[in-house]
Amino acid sequence: MTSPHGSAEGGWPAVEPVLADPAAERARLLDDLATSYRLFAALRWGELGDGHITCRDTERSDHMWLLRYRVPFERAQPSDMVLVAPDGSATGQDGRPARINNTAYHIHHPIHEARPDVTAAAHVHTAWGTPFAAERRMIEPITQESTLFFEDHALFDDEEVQILSCDGGKRIAVALGDCRAVILANHGLLTVGTSPADALGWFVLMERVAEVQMKARRGLPVSAEAARASRDDIVFSDYGWDLFNWAIRRHLKVD
């Protein structure tokens, strides 16, 4: 069977495919959602279940898909995704009630509600993103990769490290604004995107940037003009999709 990420010429499509049929597009997105969880696992993120990725449904736009509670990330399959309603109730694809990570609902539902342009959101505790978040600071444009987040990320500077309700998630959504990423103070990183692949590609890059920020303690930022020039030259509409495909080929051995 040909991988949905492959092409006749090798590699992957330059533009992320979007299928016109809602059911077919849902199946594609759920496949990528499961792949995204497995990518987290391959990178040794979320080994204690400390992370979540959501995807808006293709027809019920106020519903989102999430991995069933206590399914190890490395075992995630499309059939393990459950549909979460606006009130937080979840239903498995077998029609039965399902358990979810409630914190995922508290964080992600308000973001999906506030940002109609967002299809997916990703958050997990990582080796570099979490300690970077503990410093409660923004990403500085000290490297080429860090410039890609220049003027496109935010800081949720709050002591609510355990989000116990959607009120906390709403405050995160306000902090995020129209950016693609937010640093959750003393907690970790969160990215959003037009698909699970898009959100994951940017998350992988943001973790790498956080690592450099922590290691280059005396790094000097480039000017705002230089940062914008770098960002605008490198980033294109399907950049997150491209990053995702590089990552799954490296870490999941996808053809």
Does position 163 have pLDDT exceeding 90, yes or no?
A: yes
pLDDT given at position 5: 58
Which DSSP helix (H) or strand (E) runs through 84? strand 81-84
Instruction: Decide: 194 and 119 in contact? Cβ < 8 Å.
Output: yes
Does position 234 have pLDDT exceeding 60, yes or no?
A: yes
Angstrom distance (rounded) from CA 239 to CA 235? 6
Is this model's pTM higher than 0.85 or not?
yes
CA-closest candidate to residue 184, choices 108, 238, 241, 246:
108
Q: How confident is the model over 189-221, as pLDDT tens digits? A: 999 999 999 999 999 999 999 999 999 999 999
pLDDT band at 155 (very low <50, low <70, confident <90, very high): very high
Q: How confident is the model over 117-126, as pLDDT tens digits? A: 999 999 999 9
Which DSSP helix (H) or strand (E) runs through 114? helix 102-114
Q: How confident is the model over 21-72, as pLDDT tens digits? A: 999 999 999 999 999 999 999 999 999 999 999 999 999 999 999 999 999 9
pLDDT band at 178 (very low <50, low <70, confident <90, very high): very high
Q: CB neighbours of 131 closer than 8 A, spacing ≥ 6? A: 214
pLDDT given at position 161: 86
Would you identify the CATH topology of the domain 22-251?
L-fuculose-1-phosphate Aldolase (3.40.225)
pLDDT given at position 6: 53
pLDDT given at position 159: 87
Angstrom distance (rounded) from CA 82 to CA 87? 14
pLDDT given at position 73: 98
